[in-house]
Chains A and B, each alone.
Chain A
């Protein structure tokens, strides 16, 4: 079942069945990853197995052009992304409303899908959604341009040529191919903004999660203010990479959201924050810092203390 044809594109899908029974039908949770340097694995390992172990029917897939899914030349508009997801659910025979969980662009996609197909959505969890009432497409396209420029830097070329490592090298080359050989940039530019009137009519519970140190955290207030049923949590000491930086808390949060929402929202455990090493505070790098970055064990890691 790893590959499914949906909306005319081959999508790599992994469905994790619930490993325990819960009262009532198992909630179906569909996870939507972020753009370019992301794929199925972040959600599959970050939340997917956990929610299947908690009793959910979990569906993860690689978005068009990402991971193991087909890299078509075009078809990266929001409308096509929505059609891909709709086609995927049809192909899998999912005929009940689903809980959508999205990260970054995947969260924007989840919201857009929810607006178009509210009757097919049980809830939305939006992790770090880029959200603007005006100019969303321009902002998304600009961030892709910056990413491509950074990846095309001569030093990066040299680093890849010198053996950046099999895993990083492959994911970097795939990301560059997606940016250079497809219409994803133009398609992002064409992403429509979210009309406030439609958001006001969204009759679906929404959980929004932002990192306090994210460059887009200032978009949270506008998002929450426009939707009638939105719960917002902003996590201290995390960035746009909150899914990776606070996966343990997000697992607790999602179990609460899906199974115990009438109870109080779980608090992030004390001590979960990133501990800044002393040498960073004192601004005196240890002598072996660079060799430690290459994987040698000459400098004690604060995490191992």
Chain B
């Protein structure tokens, strides 16, 4: 996997509260989309966290990952450049990501835009 934007969750120094909150809410949103795509029946009892892997934990089909990325594109718009993030990854690289990898990338992109991606109070 060789994406300049790819990074791994859990190796950063203590982040600001704003960043923590952004990652927490992005994780919740991502988990909601995943439950919608995969189905509650299969995910009953599965706790989706930053450490959850798409292949080993969720057994996500590659075509479901297509749906996931499409939903995320709709949600975050052109400010989050998923094409560049995924550009040099093979299918196996993509499915081998963790939820945290994706959350980190989205949070980095949102931070770089300098605009809040989440409305308050929801």
Contacts and interface: CB of A to CB of B under 8 A. Distances in A.
B62 A248 contact: no
Interface residues of B, number: 25
A16 B74 CA distance: 11
A41 B78 CA distance: 21
Interface stretch (B13-21, B27-35, B63-71, B114-122): B63-71
A165 B86 CA distance: 25
B60 interface: yes
Interface string A46-59: 10011011100000
Q: What does DSSP make chain A's interface, helix, strand, loop or mixed?
A: helix
Given A45-B89, A167-B61, A244-B91, A14 B66 contact: yes
B86 A45 contact: yes
A129 interface: no
B44 interface: no
Contacts of A41: 61-63, 65-66, 91
Interface in A11-56: 14, 16-17, 19, 39-42, 44-46, 49-50, 52-54
Contacts of A244: 90-91
Contact of B63 (A40, A46, A54, A165): A40
A2 interface: yes
A96 B68 CA distance: 30
Given A42-B91, A44-B66, A166 B81 contact: no
Q: Give the interface size class of chain A.
A: 20 to 34
A185 interface: no
Interface in B83-120: 83-91, 94
Interface of A: 2, 14, 16-17, 19, 39-42, 44-46, 49-50, 52-54, 62, 67-68, 165-167, 170-171, 244, 247-248, 251, 295
Given A17-B78, A39-B63, A41-B63, 6 more contacts: A41-B61, A45-B94, A53-B83, A171-B61, A244-B90, A295-B56
